[in-house]
Amino acid sequence: PAPNDYDLNTPIDSSSGGMRQGLASYGDAHFSLFLRKVFIKAMGYSEESLSRPIIGIVNTYSSFNPCHANVPQLIEAVKRGVHLAGGLAIDFPTISIAESFSSPTSMYLRNLMSMDTEEMIRAQPCDSVVLIGGCDKTTPAQLMGGISANKPALSLVTGPMMPGSHKGERIGACTDCRNNWAKFRAGAIDIEEISGINEELAPTAGTCGVMGTASTMACILVGLGMMPFWGATAPAVSSARLRIAEETGSLAVKMHNLKLKPQTVLTRKSFLNAITVLQAIGGSTNAVVHLMAIIGRHPDVAGTITLETFDEIGRKTPLLVDLKPSGDNYMTDFHNSGGMRALLEELRPLLHLDALTIKGNTLGEELDSTPLKKIPRNIPTMVLRPLHDPLYERSSLVVLKGNLAPNGCVMKASASKNRALLNHTGRAVVFAGSADMANRIDDPNLEVEPDSVLILQNIGPIGNPGMPEAGMIPIPRKLAAKGVQDMLRISDGRMSGTAGGTIVLHVSPEATDPSSVLGIVRTGDLVKCDLDQRLIHVDVSEEEIKRRQEEKRKTLEAESENNKSADVWIARKKLRGYRGLFMRSVQQAHSGADFDFLTAAGPTDT
Ligand code: FES
Ligand code: MG
């Protein structure tokens, strides 16, 4: 026991951590510590345990979350690592978000999870924290909260699931969910076959096994220096995953000893490295939104990186990892091909090797001291390309601007299935929202040609709270049946990282915003996407744009007067609860869709 804990003559230095953190709660600091120990002892902890550094472990297990099904085993392994390194591990819950069971969208809950994470880290007496996430929105939410709380913290992901198989071919969530569903829609496979496929797409616990958002964010965490090299790719159901968890526990104690906080580990260079990784893996477009939100939390980095930075880095960075949806394979193949350790070796010339890692050394030092795994000659699929022989020369993710998206929009050019569409002009076929699209997209009388440009409005952060992953507008059935596989598609929404096609996303400002041009595009307008010029443009004059915006404003005002609250832009001011908070506070996609009051540029803490 610490000898002076209850000695009234000894001032309590609450900065010394653990049980002594945040002692003002009962006015009298000695009494606060006394009381705190009374209650924690009811959990069975001894004075000896309580004198150790306390390592919090964020528990995001939920029976609704298959991506986090292995969290209980991971917590056990993290605890072992913490105890081996001389700390005391204490786990605590925060909300759990899984893609498939988060209505209206998981993105709607990301900022809530970040607030939960931040406040629980702040509130409880942890010396450092292990953030266990996995499914798409969880790792960014945790890092956003972790940076804002700024106690020593590092990430552990649940890891990718294994692929399944169907008729002798490997399949996996969720690129193959979409491919096979598209075949079913087009009548190429029948109901029995699609039911059989349904059994095999997610055959184990873990995150989607392709380069979707979960895998992308895991690789990015390594690129940021926030997770050990093997942390991104080891399968969820592997013993390697448990050993990584054990190592993570020990590292959390080390981070406390070094007083290494996220705002210290992470610098502008860390984020530039993360963006290089994002481009080299052909990562999810969602990662752009998440990274902008994470950057927005960091007082020293916010404002120094914009969407243009992603495009600039993209122009120098080739796509090296051959995984679905840009390529052909699965995360287990990436792991067996050397994983992030091998990728970072290839990327060395493009990285800032002096960026820090959670171990307190630089990325370059960490690479120098970690041997490359020997890859057996007989591994079935080598998915990592050398820098001189990439899968895609450069600019996997591109940023476009123009009158249709003055604040930018994003496209995963490497996932296009018809490269001619990357520089394409066509007539718009406009849908006013998800419901309108669902009603008309398969109508045999819909006037649409293979070279039409499909436009979906009002699925942005405010227009359809949470910005659903509806940006991959389906190919109208009558065209799909004729064999059309890709069309130029544009929206203010997002797209799953596991999806592909020539799809322009995150148009900012969103259609609901009265200043939006996307919001006044009409069927028949000529729309141009010019990848070479990074241009997205609708051929409508300035005057006509103004006239249509004015006309729209009057219509919406009239409808609002008739109490239809047709305009969410106006109606959100009266909404209650989290929905109201979300719709009044969420920022546009180009700045990360975080709440304005949580960003480093927003209001201050004290
Ligand atoms: Fe959780 Fe894909 S649904 S990672
Ligand atoms: Mg996803």
Q: Does residue 3 surpass a pLDDT of 70?
A: no
Which two tokens mark 231?
Answer: 């942390």
Residue minimizing CA distance to atom 3 of ligand 1:
99
- To the question of pTM greater than 0.95 for the whole model, the response is yes
One-letter amino acid for residue 379 of the chain: I
| Cα–ligand 2 centroid distance for 213 (angstroms) | 5
pLDDT in tens, 540-579: 999 999 999 999 999 888 887 776 666 888 889 889 999 9
| Cα–ligand 2 centroid distance for 557 (angstroms) | 37
SS (H, E, C) 17-61: CHHHCCHHHHCCHHHHHHHHHHHHHCCCCCHHHHCCCEEEEEECC
**CA-to-CA distance for 144 and 297, rounded, in angstroms?**
6
pLDDT in tens, 477-507: 999 989 999 999 999 999 998 888 999 999 9
Worst-scoring range by mean pLDDT, 17-26, 254-263, 290-299, 351-360?
17-26
**CA-to-CA distance for 188 and 376, rounded, in angstroms?**
39
**Average per-residue pLDDT for the chain:** 94
Percent of the chain residues past pLDDT 70, beyond the cut: 98
Question: Would you say 340 and 233 are in contact if contact means Cβ atoms under 8 Å apart?
Answer: yes
For 59, half-sphere exposure in the C-beta direction (CA atoms, 13 angstrom radius) is 15
Nearest atom (ligand 1) to Cα of 174: 2
| Cα–ligand 1 centroid distance for 102 (angstroms) | 11
Question: Would you say 262 and 146 are in contact if contact means Cβ atoms under 8 Å apart?
Answer: yes
Residue minimizing CA distance to atom 2 of ligand 1:
208
Nearest atom (ligand 1) to Cα of 206: 4
For 367, half-sphere exposure in the C-beta direction (CA atoms, 13 angstrom radius) is 23
**CA-to-CA distance for 425 and 451, rounded, in angstroms?**
8
Q: Does residue 229 surpass a pLDDT of 90?
A: yes
pLDDT at residue number 142: 98
Nearest atom (ligand 1) to Cα of 99: 3
Nearest atom (ligand 1) to Cα of 173: 2
Q: Other CB atoms closer than 10 Å to residue 378's CB: what's the count?
A: 5
pLDDT at residue number 5: 78
pLDDT at residue number 565: 62
Q: Does residue 15 surpass a pLDDT of 80?
A: no
Mean pLDDT of 495-524: 95
How many residues appear in the chain?
A: 606
pLDDT at residue number 11: 77
pLDDT at residue number 16: 66
- Phi, psi (deg, nearest 5) at residue 594: -85, 165
| Cα–ligand 2 centroid distance for 107 (angstroms) | 10
| Cα–ligand 2 centroid distance for 593 (angstroms) | 17
How far, CA to CA in Å, does 185 sit from each of 437, 473, 475, 479?
16, 13, 10, 11
Residue 469: nearest ligand to its CA?
Answer: 2
252 vs 21 pLDDT, higher one: 252
- Phi, psi (deg, nearest 5) at residue 490: -135, 135
One-letter amino acid for residue 69 of the chain: A
Among 251, 237, 323, 216, which residue's Cα sits nearest to residue 89?
251
Q: Does residue 436 surpass a pLDDT of 90?
A: yes
Worst-scoring range by mean pLDDT, 3-12, 47-56, 138-147, 206-215?
3-12
Pairing verdict, β 526-530 and 423-431: antiparallel
**What is the CB < 6 Å shell around ligand 1?**
67, 98-100, 135-136, 207-208, 212, 214
Which band of pLDDT confidence, cut at 50, 70 and 90, is reported for residue 1? Answer: very low
> Rounded to 10 degrees, what is the CA torsion of 397, 235, 133, 348?
-50
Residue minimizing CA distance to atom 1 of ligand 1:
135
Which two tokens mark 256?
Answer: 């406390």
pLDDT at residue number 18: 81
| Cα–ligand 2 centroid distance for 468 (angstroms) | 11
Which band of pLDDT confidence, cut at 50, 70 and 90, is reported for residue 374? Answer: confident
In sequence order, what are the residues at sequence separation of 6 or more whose Cβ sits closer than 8 angstroms to the Cβ of residue 267? 300, 301, 355, 356
Ligand 1 pocket test, candidate residues 139, 162, 208, most atoms within 8 A of CB: 208
Question: Would you say 126 and 151 are in contact if contact means Cβ atoms under 8 Å apart?
Answer: yes
